[in-house]
Amino acid sequence: EADIYQTPRYLVIGTGKKITLECSQTMGHDKMYWYQQDPGMELHLIHYSYGVNSTEKGDLSSESTVSRIRTEHFPLTLESARPSHTSQYLCASSGRQQGAWADTQYFGPGTRLTVL
Amino acid sequence: KNQVEQSPQSLIILEGKNCTLQCNYTVSPFSNLRWYKQDTGRGPVSLTIMTFSENTKSNGRYTATLDADTKQSSLHITASQLSDSASYICVVTDRGSTLGRLYFGRGTQLTVWP
């Protein structure tokens, strides 16, 4: 069981509201990621971080922003939510298990966001 | 263009039966291929990871195969259980970037009926 947490699990809000999706991990991983996933579709990388004070945009253009002030915490913020932001947001972190030759990405349970 | 294609898109089988899910990819240069299981409303969980030198790898009732020459992988599930109902996602990592860029398939939605 991966030690990566997301809150809230479900969020329904009105257009124009500012929201922050929380993500935290207790595995000490430097690399963290945010993905967006629509039903039946593949995951799209929207943000990633190599470590504290490092953030980069992913492949899918997103109006959200992220910050990485602490290793364990990687929140995602939408300044003004719109219906087009309705989606599932998955947070992940990656690290190498002892004896492994490659990193494994561990995913949080996701936040299902609905913007009315 | 780096892509990962999975088939079938969805599959319904009876409990106790076997099934095989397919994954074709064009990602290059290739680093590794993973199969993830994603339960409804949850994040994906890694089942297996394979590098180009590995042809087959098992994890309980799950057996993954990889043909790096034809860029194809399969996930075979033996003696299916109701709890196997989930989306199975094929993920390929390239080794051409520092990040280790992941390419996700859209998944195969498996439903196991009693």
Q: What is the pLDDT of residues A68-105, one digit of tens each?
A: 999 999 999 999 999 999 999 999 998 876 666 677 88
Tokens encoding A27 = 């595995």
Say yes or no: B45 contacts chain A, CB-CB below 8 A: yes
Beta carbons of B113 and B84 less than 8 angstroms apart:
no
According to DSSP, residue B41 is labeled T
Cβ within 8 Å, pair B45-A45: no
- Mean pLDDT, chain A, rounded, equals 91
**Tokens standing for residue B62:** 């799950």
For tokens 């995951």, what's the residue?
A43
- B44 to chain A, any CB pair closer than 8 A? The answer is yes
Question: What mean pLDDT do residues B7-12 have?
Answer: 96
Closest CA to A107 of A28, A35, A22: A35
| pLDDT beyond 80 at B97 | no
Q: What is the mean pLDDT of residues B33-41?
A: 92
Q: Which residues pair with B101 in a beta bridge?
A: none
Nearest-CA distance A71 → chain B (Å)? 17
More confident residue, B100 or B102: B102
Give the best residue of A7, A10, A38, A42 to mutate against chain B (max B CB count within 10 A): A42
| CB within 8 Å of chain A, chain B residues 54-113 | 89, 93, 99-100, 102, 104-107, 109
Q: How far is CA B92 from the centre of its chain?
A: 9
